[in-house]
Structure 1
């Protein structure tokens, strides 16, 4: 059983590009078949090639067709996932923006409820997963000696966007959990990969009643996308639970925490801890995370933490000292007398 279980991830990864490739091959055949004579040039080589294909049996051509379909599917799947990720992120951002507008205008409860439900439905990370990841970040950093209030400087979005990197550790520490995660992930990828070729296939299919076919296909693809989002959330829920219980490592957070352990005794205030965390992120190459933490530090201009953190960044010659200073000067709570 263990042998077959080890084969499942490979089978799932093979299924998605192969199915998508066969669907795209169907689209190409429908489009190019009427123009088959125009595709080949009038040369002896082209004539010999056409004769060779006509002489081959289906069983002889099948391996070549499957290999071509797999290649087409691999390329198309990569493009489809990249585009869907961008579109999904933009759609979720738009929904969040609209939800903010509706909330400010104090519209009726049922409108606000639908807006909130739509925002949750387009978010690949559930509220429960976010809470678990937030607690995991806090636990990792407090074990390194950092005050609990400093954990906020490692922004949640930085971790949720890379939560998939924890799957490798999960496959070692808890293989059954990893199998569940991989199943949800692959099912989501499968549905996303076949949505576009299915729609194109219905659009070019030479059948009667094409408007009804295209409409039905679009509705079905919408259902597939909704299922894909649900399965992505389920996969992320598994990783978030695993991270909370220590079965999956939040590698980027752990990297920062390991380096902070050596500095803990010299750090006396939360502000100094915040500055040390930003400096450590910078040294670990986590520049986006360091920039986000710097912005959060500057937002606390009314607190001594901001100026203590700024002093620490200056003391260690961090490149983010100047960034933090500029952000602080932009704050309405900035007070020059608080700087020593």
Structure 2
């Protein structure tokens, strides 16, 4: 029962937590800097919330937070996904031996070990295809340029072939989904976490140096979460790449 609920919980966890963080930060900041004479909310809004009752207010706030978190989390995930695609499209065949570094390397979606295993699979299939098609009188050998071209296309497909794993091996897809959900959760709270820290600090009666220390610690934690998010994202898609290398799922580039 609990196992069947976990995937659904993962779908809303990131957006809901991020939304609550945005809501809490906004409430604190508006209350600190922009409190109107009648209070944080106008009287009609207060009366409407009182009409809902405690349960209704919690439900309305939760739905609002879910929507806010869904929007902001989707924006962050979309930007990071686009950067990962940009990294892959900038790869050349010469980069497959040692994946390049640089700022975009943070968004590298697969490990070097995964790329090497995929190349090995393609090299093996290329050799088998030659043995089937080439006659004994024709010199045999592996065309490294062709192998690297196919490997490059296959690596670029890693971000898009995960649905094939649902049918081929559901337990592997569950593992992929877990890694991906952990990455998305960290991505979703990257922005609201420092904003919430600032909102809390401006409402504290503490020395400025202590507030600065708290914000610095939160920023360090945010950087750590970002690194962990990219690691989980890479683990998720490396699992897809290993599945392609094992032959569990097929790649259009390797099938051509």
Q: Closer, same or farther in 2 for the Cα pair 1:234/1:178, shift >3 Å?
A: same
| Structure 1 position 228 matched with structure 2 position 229 | yes
5+ residue gaps, structure 1, are: 41-45, 97-114, 258-340
Q: Deviations over 1:175-204 (max 9, x none)?
A: 111111111111011111111110111122
Q: Closer, same or farther in 2 for the Cα pair 1:86/1:118, shift >3 Å?
A: closer
Q: Is the 8 A contact 1:26 1:201 kept in 2?
A: yes
Alpha-carbon distance in structure 2 between the residues aligned to 1:230 and 1:203: 27
Q: Secondary structure at the match of 1:135?
A: helix
Query: In the TM superposition, what are the counterparts of 1:102-141 in structure 2 within 5 Å?
Result: 123-139=108-124
Query: In the TM superposition, what are the counterparts of 1:29-178 in structure 2 within 5 Å?
Result: 29-34=27-32, 35-37=34-36, 47-85=43-81, 123-139=108-124, 148-149=142-143, 150-154=146-150, 156=152, 158-178=153-173
Structure scoring higher RCO (CA < 8 A, sep ≥ 6) equals 2
* Alignment partner of 1:16 out of 9, 14, 17: 14
Alpha-carbon distance in structure 2 between the residues aligned to 1:178 and 1:171: 6
Report the number of matched residues. 228
Query: In the TM superposition, what are the counterparts of 1:140-289 in structure 2 within 5 Å?
Result: 148-149=142-143, 150-154=146-150, 156=152, 158-205=153-200, 206-207=203-204, 208=206, 209-254=210-255, 257=256
Alpha-carbon distance in structure 1 between the residues aligned to 2:5 and 2:123: 37
Q: Secondary structure at the match of 2:249?
A: coil
How far residue 153 of structure 1 moved from its aligned partner, in angstroms, is 2.5
How far residue 142 of structure 1 moved from its aligned partner, in angstroms, is 5.9
Alpha-carbon distance in structure 2 between the residues aligned to 1:243 and 1:91: 20
Alpha-carbon distance in structure 2 between the residues aligned to 1:64 and 1:141: 58
Alpha-carbon distance in structure 1 between the residues aligned to 2:165 and 2:193: 34
Alpha-carbon distance in structure 2 between the residues aligned to 1:83 and 1:31: 27
Q: Which has the larger radius of gyration?
A: 1
- What TM-score, normalized by structure 2, do the two folds share? 0.74
Alpha-carbon distance in structure 1 between the residues aligned to 2:251 and 2:118: 9
Q: Is the 8 A contact 1:169 1:247 kept in 2?
A: no
How far residue 69 of structure 1 moved from its aligned partner, in angstroms, is 0.6
Alpha-carbon distance in structure 2 between the residues aligned to 1:125 and 1:241: 10
How far residue 16 of structure 1 moved from its aligned partner, in angstroms, is 1.0
Alpha-carbon distance in structure 2 between the residues aligned to 1:246 and 1:131: 15
Q: Is the 8 A contact 1:23 1:198 kept in 2?
A: yes
- What TM-score, normalized by structure 1, do the two folds share? 0.57
